[in-house]
Amino acid sequence: MYQAPRGTIDILPDEQNYWRYVEQKAAGVCRLYGYQRIDTPAFEETGLFTRSVGQGTDIVEKEMYTFKDKGDNLITLRPEGTAPVCRAYLEHGMSNLPQPVKLFYFADIFRYERPQAGRLRQHHQFGCEAIGESDPSLDAEVIDMAWRFFASLGLRNLSLVLNSIGCRQCRPDYIRTLKDYYVKHAPELCPDCSTRLERNTLRLLDCKKPSCQKIADAAPRSADHLCPDCAAHFAGLQKYLQTLAIPYAINHRLVRGLDYYTRTVFEIQPEDAGGQSTIGGGGRYDDLIEELGGRPTPAIGFATGIERIILNLKKQSIAVPPLPIPRVYIACLGEAAREAGIRLGADLRKAGTGVIVAAGSRSLKAQLRQANSLAAQFAVILGEEEVRAGTAAVRNMATSEQQAVSLGELLSVILNEQGD
Ligand code: HAM
């Protein structure tokens, strides 16, 4: 027997109401903030990601699904959604539109990670990108949008952590200071951090090992090494977050795992959770569009993993509305009844009502049992004799009340009974 590949999940019908709930809330929030939907391909040229996410990152080094297609093109299944949106922004001349251009997406994302709860090899993200504006009020708006989105889902006890990692003017000096500090601590570092020291010093701050965390806590802080513009930007963002009454904490060790970030980085975390279960994160990427061949174009965005949201909805026992189900079940006994049932089913569907017409030749009892397990509101029972007499029985499945209705009135009786 085949099984779904390790780190992937089947989203079964039972789970679909969670997905619909999250997607509808996301689309609702996007409407409130003026974001338009974009869909990009599930795969791109590999270079797009190595260039943007960064050579020294875990994603590029260890996690990308990369292969040569039959045309010898080097292809990668998207390991994140920001670079493809920027590629589309450039490809379709969106810099000529009023800026910032605000886009959102639902996308499946592929990362070859070690699977565990909330960590998959194919997961799904809702993300948004606001491209073409550097004002810190836009950073605050994106964070506000993420924050309102989680609130609209009913999630509680989330926390927002924030940092500024500077720009290409001030960051090199900071990285030098950071490296000097870490070189002094080199013998105490874990093997991963020892290799990162040369290649991606900033990521040392992110190490989850307790011994490295102690060193990271005392490390020089990027927020203390910002140039005047970045410092003003970070102060502006904090002022607007206060205006919006969004509680935040500055975490000097927050650097995020993708190289394209500049200035603002942020994450939203559930209570009781370590960095492993961050439900959303994002930040500014002011150099990325230029890096991909466009004019200098500041931008900021955010993404959240839908599987992790659903884990938290369940953990917090948040009730999610059920999906609509067919409300009428037509039980048929005999060929004449089946024909009448098929006709009635077609008429009800034309009137917009969901119907299941029983197929096969099960007993009436078995058909009613099925109507019950499908949670139909009404069963219409058509037997040979009823059809000959021009009637049918309409059974309210909740109360088991049953009434005889003439076939001519059946449609209007059911439509009235349903109240829709
Ligand atoms: P990211 O932090 O790598 O950011 O991913 C965003 C969110 O996707 C995470 O907060 C988490 O909820 C979810 N996620 C990540 N990896 C997995 C996984 N293996 N399994 C399940 N869920 C996962 C980005 O991807 C950036 N593109 C976000 C962004 C948009 N920055 C600016 N604009």
Show the domains of the chain with their CATH numbers: 13-170+226-315 (3.30.930.10), 328-419 (3.40.50.800)
Res. 420: pLDDT tops 70: no
Tokens of 361: 């030749």
Tokens of 226: 């910002």
List CB contacts of 316: < 8 A, sequence separation 6 or more. 154, 155, 156
Place 266 in a pLDDT band, splitting at 50, 70 and 90: very high
Of 172, 145, 179, 174, give the one whose Cα is nearest residue 160.
145
Residues with CB under 6 A from ligand 1: 80-82, 111, 113, 118-120, 123, 125, 127, 129, 257-258, 278-283, 301-305, 307-308
Predicted pLDDT at 276: 61
What angle do helix axes 82-91 and 46-53 make, rounded to 10 degrees? Answer: 110
- pTM for this one? 0.94
Predicted pLDDT at 408: 85
Distance 186 CA to ligand 1 centre (A): 30
The predicted model gives 93-109 an average pLDDT of 98
Distance 104 CA to ligand 1 centre (A): 14
Q: Which residues pair with 102 in a beta bridge?
A: 130
- Altogether, the residues listed in the chain come to a count of 420
Residue of the nearest CA to atom 22 in ligand 1? 305
C-alpha to C-alpha distance for 392 and 413, rounded to whole angstroms:
11
**Best probe residue, ligand 1, of 145, 308, 311 (max atoms within 8 Å of C-beta):** 308
Tokens of 357: 């017409």
Predicted pLDDT at 274: 57
Annotate 164-196 with b (16+ C-beta within 10 A) or e (fewer): bbbbeebbeebbebbbebbeebeeebbeebeeb
Do 109 and 123 touch, CB atoms closer than 8 A? yes
Predicted pLDDT at 100: 98
Annotate 317-354 with b (16+ C-beta within 10 A) or e (fewer): eeebeeeeebbbbbbbbbebbbebbeebbeebeeeebe
Distance 355 CA to ligand 1 centre (A): 40
Q: How far apart are the first and last CA of the chain?
A: 45
| Lowest-confidence pick of 189-203, 254-268, 333-347 | 189-203
Predicted pLDDT at 418: 58
Res. 84: pLDDT tops 60: yes
Distance 90 CA to ligand 1 centre (A): 23
Predicted pLDDT at 47: 96
Distance 306 CA to ligand 1 centre (A): 10
Place 407 in a pLDDT band, splitting at 50, 70 and 90: confident
Do 217 and 119 touch, CB atoms closer than 8 A? no
C-alpha to C-alpha distance for 394 and 385, rounded to whole angstroms:
15
Strand order in the sheet with 158-164: 36-37, 101-110, 122-131, 299-305, 280-284, 262-270, 158-164, 249-250
Do 90 and 293 touch, CB atoms closer than 8 A? yes
Could you write out the three-class secondary structure of 11-61?
A: CCHHHHHHHHHHHHHHHHHHHHHCCEECCCCCEEEHHHHHHHHCCCCHHHH
C-alpha to C-alpha distance for 382 and 387, rounded to whole angstroms:
6
Distance 317 CA to ligand 1 centre (A): 24
CA angle, 114 then 209 then 176, to 5°: 105
Tokens of 416: 């009235």
Predicted pLDDT at 198: 82
**Best probe residue, ligand 1, of 49, 52, 80, 121 (max atoms within 8 Å of C-beta):** 80
Residue of the nearest CA to atom 30 in ligand 1? 302
The predicted model gives 388-416 an average pLDDT of 90
Omega prior to 100 cis, within 30 of 0: yes
